[in-house]
Structure 1
């Protein structure tokens, strides 16, 4: 039970560290991600925040 709880806490901690959309870090991460894996929303946000 303790292992499951510890795994849950670690996974929440790691997922909460995603950069904010439009930040320089997010733009850099998107540039590294293959464009075929982008969603339509990610492509729109990238164009809005990182190009213009």
Structure 2
């Protein structure tokens, strides 16, 4: 239940459409190394 609530149903979790959109709005110079790697993994199609 906890996993589902935080990892499956949370629209702001890493890799979700909302998370990708929020990074698109953020200046790429302000991205952390983890954000850049996660963006490449989950948001680039």
Q: Could you tell me which runs of 5 or more consecutive residues in structure 2 were left unpaired when the two chains were aligned.
A: 1-9
Q: TM-score normalized by structure 1?
A: 0.63
In the other structure, the counterpart of 2:13 is 20
Q: Which runs of 4+ in 1 moved over 3 A?
A: none
Give the C-alpha shift of residue 19 in structure 1: 1.0
Rounded to whole Å, the distance in 2 between the matches of 1:27 and 1:40 is 15
Corresponding residue pairs, total: 36
Q: Is the 8 A contact 2:11 2:18 kept in 1?
A: no
Larger radius of gyration: 1
Kindly provide the CA deviation profile for residues 13-49 of structure 1, in whole angstroms up to 9, marking residues without a partner as x.
xxxx881000000000000000010000000000000
What is the alpha-carbon root mean square deviation over aligned residues?
A: 1.8
Q: TM-score normalized by structure 2?
A: 0.73
